[in-house]
A and B are shown apart, each in its own frame.
Chain A
Amino acid sequence: MEEIIKEVVIGEQEEYLINIGPQHPSTHGVLRLVVSLKGEIVKNVQPHIGYIHRGIEKMCESITYPQIIHLTDRMDYLSACINNEAVCLTVEKALEVEIPDRIKIIRTIMAELTRIQSHQLFWASYGMDLGGQTCYFYGLRDREKILDIFEETTGGRMIVSYNCPGGLMYDIHPNFQKRVKEFIKYFRSVLWEYDAILTGNVIFRERTIGIGKLSLVDAISYGITGPSGRASGFSCDIRKQEPYSAYDRVKFNEVMFKEGDTYHRYLARIEEMRESMNIIDQLIDNIPEGQYFVKMKPVIRLPEGEYFQRVETARGELDVFIISDGNKNPYRLKFRSPNFVNLGVLNHITKDFKIADLIAIAGSLDFVIPDIDR
């Protein structure tokens, strides 16, 4: 018998282009994606970036090291504190300054709080990308508590500029330890809600499990770091591999999965929040007394040479590479920002998935656009 009914797919014959962004809620900023489609199957994704390119690397060449700190906040604004730390560590490494334990421990606590609030916002907005409005309110409800702690100690909520070469801008607020402990106790008691609302949700699981698979070999070849890389089994946690600040004295697990799909990239971040709370637990009662800064020269000049520092932000590996010619400003300063590198894999992992999955996959890579553009 002859086959009479033939499946007709609109747009099957020719590819056509759809423009997403630059102003689109699910691209989390001014990211423009030109998507080439066959039917509703994605064949090619070309990111067009640079809408908020400020030339931070160029600006750094004409300002001093303490001034550079304030620009780093504006890259990945959800990892502001960790970005500060990266530049501080590079400068301190170059000058061979010994940093007291008090500063190291406070920096680590602040970094982990930053990581938690970043993953909270990821969870909140990722739920909303996939149609769960409730997540946004739950996520922001908890994130406000961390921002309040930041505000009390640093004066800023997101753009904190708290670390500076040689220590911290100000000492911690007398309430700091008490409030952090209160927060950890509170957040432990509500973290199950995150799983109940989203992780176990049937629609969510259907839309994420098995979608956008990234193999271990590709993760390494593309240089995908952070929770996205670790979800593919790429052991890339700088806190473990090259411990800086106080990470060598705390015990925590590197969250790793083998599957590498969208769901496990999401799960890696949820688990990292638990690990971050464990790290804070081990440190919060052990902040030694002492000065919160080391006296530095009024004008910081790095000795001639090249200095490379790797840190783990909430999204992956941030490298600061300074080439100094002995002046008070760097000859060349390079930020290897995690989001910029992670964007490179988007075309590879969205291929042959549906256009609705593109939003799920791009969301799971957790882009912060100012960090891509710099």
Chain B
Amino acid sequence: MDKTQLGEFVKSLKPDAIVTDGKQYTEVTVADTELHSLAKKLRESEETWFDFLVCLTGVDYGKDFGVIYHLKSTRYEHMIVLKTRTSEREKPVLNSVCDIWKGAEFHEREVYDLLGVKFNHHPDLRRLFLDSSWGFPLRKDYVDDINIVSK
């Protein structure tokens, strides 16, 4: 499917989703509660078959956190970008997609480690690089007063 067909297909699955035509890929923004069901449908329906989770990125947007999923279909070679945002900054929680793509397990642990976004139903959500006494370094309000990275 090309970019516009993908957008229409997502619209038929989730009428609430915001579909934008990005420079490279179709970008879909959905609510955090809707994300898991949409991802599962995109993975399982025969027309889209997004079986390869290419990249999972956590972003600090200031008032909330976002997670961006780059998906690819190895059968049809098309790609799509899913975006979602947590509902709050204090206790950010999203649903895990580990049951859809096994590779998400490490990606989500990394996002939890560096941004502090928790994932429901994750089989093994522990800190990955840092120990539990660290803050969450990729947050924009993280203060690092000894290292050169502080502006």
Q: Which residues of A contact B (CB under 8 A)?
A: 49-50, 53, 55, 57-59, 61-62, 218, 220-224, 234-236, 241, 305-308, 310, 317, 319, 321, 323, 331-332, 334, 336, 340-341, 343-345, 348, 373
B:94-116 near A, CB below 8 Å = 101-103, 105-107, 110, 114
| Count of interface residues, chain B, beta-carbon cutoff 8 Å | 36
A111 to B2: give the CA distance in the assembly, Å: 31
**Chain A nearest Cβ from B99, distance in angstroms:** 11
Q: With a CB–CB cut-off of 8 A, which chain A residues contact B138?
A: 57-58, 332
Q: Is B15 interfacial (CB 8 A cutoff)?
A: no
Could you say which residues of chain B place their CB within 8 Å of the CB of A332? 57, 59-60, 138
- Bound CA span A22–B74, Å: 36
Q: Max chain A CB contacts within 10 Å: which of B77, B101, B149, B150? A: B149
Among A221, A306, A323, the residue within 8 A (CB) of B22 is: A306
Q: In the bound complex, what is the Cα–Cα distance between A350 and B137 (angstroms)?
A: 33
Residues in B with CB closer than 8 Å to A343 are 106
* Contact flags B8-49 to A (C-beta < 8 A → 1, else 0): 000000000000001111000000000000000000000000
23 CB contacts below 8 A, A to B, read: A50-B129, A50-B130, A53-B129, A55-B137, A57-B114, A62-B150, A221-B102, A222-B101, A222-B102, A222-B103, A223-B54, A223-B101, A224-B103, A241-B77, A306-B23, A308-B25, A310-B54, A319-B70, A332-B57, A336-B55, A341-B103, A341-B106, A344-B106
Nearest CB on A from B77, distance (A): 7
CB of B51 within 8 A of CB of A305, answer no
Give Cα distance in the complex from A343 to B68, angstroms: 21
Assess whether B151 is in contact with A62, with CB atoms less than 8 Å apart.
yes
User: Which residues in A have their C-beta under 8 angstroms from that of B151?
Assistant: 62
- Are B55 and A220 in contact, CB atoms less than 8 angstroms apart? no
For the complex formed, measure the closest distance between the CB of B103 and the CB atoms of chain A, giving whole angstroms.
4
**A-side interface mostly:** mixed
Indicate if the CB atoms of B137 and A344 lie closer than 8 Å.
no
In the bound complex, do residue B102 and residue A344 qualify as a contact, i.e. CB atoms below 8 Å apart? Answer: yes
User: Shortest CB–CB separation between residue A252 and chain B, in angstroms?
Assistant: 19
Pair A223/B103 contact, Cβ less than 8 Å? yes
Give the A-binding residues of B (Cβ under 8 A).
Answer: 22-25, 51-55, 57, 59-60, 68, 70, 74, 77, 81, 101-103, 105-107, 110, 114, 128-130, 137-138, 142, 144, 148-151
A373 neighbours in B (Cβ, 8 Å):
129
Contacts of B110 in A (CB 8 A): 340
Query: Quick one: closest B residue to A218, CB to CB?
Result: B102
**Given contacts A308-B24, A308-B25, is CB(A58)–CB(B106) below 8 Å?**
no
Which residues of A are found within 8 Å of B102, using beta-carbon distances? 218, 221-222, 344, 348
A310 to chain B: which residues have CB within 8 Å? 54
| Residue of B54, B59, B129, B149 touching A62 (CB-CB under 8 A) | B149
C-alpha spacing A364/B78, complex, angstroms: 30
Q: Is the CB of A221 within 8 A of B57?
A: no
Q: Which 4 A-B pairs have the closest CB atoms?
A: A50-B129, A223-B103, A53-B129, A344-B106
Find A221's partner among B55, B101, B107 (CB 8 Å cutoff): B101
